[in-house]
A and B are shown apart, each in its own frame.
Chain A
Amino acid sequence: MHELGIVFHIVKTVENVAAGNQAEKVGKVVLQIGEVSTIIPSYLEDCWRWKCSKSEMMDGCELVIETIPAITFCEDCEETYSTVEHGKICPYCGSEHTYLIQGNEHQIKEIEVI
């Protein structure tokens, strides 16, 4: 359940950004979460509702999660493939010389405030 700790950090950052923009209320938060970022969106949503209910500025705030697909690049054959499906080994040439090019994101993209 590390989503709880993550939600604490998101709420803290969002509250600071909102306060810095003289906002009174945050209506929506958009996150970009990579497929292999180890964050599970459904757990995040549960923690989100609970945590926001404790914050005057964020009570009832909508959470939108944009999932970023995980893609791995093979250094040997220079192909890219789905990380979730094939993991570390390149499905085209069997090489282990691969690295993740996207899918590990955990970013706050934007917020909506009044």
Chain B
Amino acid sequence: MEDFKTIEVKRSIFEDNDADAQRLREELKAEKTFLLNLMSSPGAGKTTTLKRTIEALKGEMKIGVMEADIDSDVDARAISGTGVRAIQIHTGGMCHLDADMTRQGIREFGTEDLDFVVLENVGNLVCPAEFDTGSTKNAMILSVPEGDDKPLKYPLMFSICDVVLINKCDTLNVFDDFSKEAVKERILKLNPKAEVIFASAKTGEGFEKWIQWIRKEIREYQVL
């Protein structure tokens, strides 16, 4: 019988990642690079939203996009078409990015000269909410066809987001059981500080507000 010794650990499973994320946030702050962690379910319109966002902002700031996916480079290719720098990160089967993977992507990408980097996280409403990536701000896209009950089903995701973009509002006449009031109320109940913006990446409706939110956040970040 071998002699085992017990060591008391008493540490959260997420503690190492949280500390690593905080270090990455400080590194990015020193470079004045604003990192937006963009999350959603698959098909909510992250890439389309991103393309329109880039078009609106690329004249006034240097933008980079990191696309995290389990496989393929279709999203990075779509973004490359807009003329900004894009990199594809494969998570190798993992359902989310953690701070260490984000840092590896950031260093490979070289973000020192960039003002605004968007991290398009893996399409998933569960794990990305649990692992702090080290981003400056967290954004999530919820599309109308997914339903207004999603804040009830994925409360953690909604509680960690600084901004929630309700996308595909051009389909509200078809998905007429989606209540804008109900979804907003449910989000604010979980997260009173969240900004809720109703928009459509397809038609451009509501985008002014979204772009203004990004502009304001980046300006404040770079000044402070």
What residues make up the interface of A, taking CB atoms closer than 8 Å to B? 1-2, 4-6, 9-10, 12-14, 16-18, 21, 23, 27-28, 31, 38, 106-114
**Which residues of A sit under 8 angstroms from B94, Cβ to Cβ?**
4-5
Closest chain-B Cβ to A50's Cβ sits at a distance in Å of 12
Assess the B16–A12 pair: CB atoms within 8 A: yes
Cross-chain contact of B4 among A4, A5, A6, A114 (Cβ < 8 A) = A114
A106 to B18, CA, bound (A): 13
Q: Known pairs A16-B16, A109-B8, A114-B2. 14 more at Cβ < 8 A?
A: A5-B96, A10-B13, A13-B11, A13-B15, A21-B5, A21-B7, A28-B4, A38-B130, A107-B10, A108-B9, A108-B11, A110-B10, A111-B9, A113-B4
**Which residues of B sit under 8 angstroms from A5, Cβ to Cβ?**
94-96, 98, 127, 131
Please provide the 10 A-B residue pairs with the shortest distance between their CB atoms, ordered closest to farther: A2-B127, A112-B4, A108-B9, A106-B13, A110-B8, A27-B4, A112-B6, A114-B2, A111-B7, A108-B11
**Which residues of B sit under 8 angstroms from A111, Cβ to Cβ?**
6-7, 9
**Which residues of A sit under 8 angstroms from B130, Cβ to Cβ?**
2, 6, 38
A110 to B126, CA, bound (A): 27
Closest to B154 in A: A38
A12 to B213, CA, bound (A): 38
A106 and B14 in contact (CB under 8 A), knowing A5-B95, A17-B9, A111-B9? yes
Closest chain-A Cβ to B153's Cβ sits at a distance in Å of 12
Closest chain-B Cβ to A45's Cβ sits at a distance in Å of 15
A9 and B17 in contact (CB under 8 A), knowing A4-B94, A107-B10, A111-B9? yes
Assess the B4–A110 pair: CB atoms within 8 A: no
A61 to B93, CA, bound (A): 24
Closest chain-A Cβ to B98's Cβ sits at a distance in Å of 7
Assess the B4–A108 pair: CB atoms within 8 A: no
Q: Which of B150-207 contact A (CB under 8 A)?
A: 156
Q: Which of B1-43 contact A (CB under 8 A)?
A: 2-17
Closest chain-A Cβ to B97's Cβ sits at a distance in Å of 9
Closest chain-A Cβ to B182's Cβ sits at a distance in Å of 15
A38 to B7, CA, bound (A): 26
**Which residues of A sit under 8 angstroms from B12, Cβ to Cβ?**
106-108
Q: Which of B96-151 contact A (CB under 8 A)?
A: 96, 98, 126-127, 130-131
Assess the A114–B16 pair: CB atoms within 8 A: no
**Which residues of B sit under 8 angstroms from A27, Cβ to Cβ?**
2, 4
Assess the B9–A114 pair: CB atoms within 8 A: no
Closest to B94 in A: A5
Assess the A9–B13 pair: CB atoms within 8 A: yes
Closest to A33 in B: B13
Closest chain-B Cβ to A96's Cβ sits at a distance in Å of 9
Chosen A-B contacts, 6 in total, with CB atoms closer than 8 Å, are A4-B95, A5-B95, A23-B7, A106-B13, A108-B13, A114-B4
A18 to B11, CA, bound (A): 14
Assess the B11–A114 pair: CB atoms within 8 A: no
A110 and B7 in contact (CB under 8 A), knowing A2-B126, A13-B16? yes
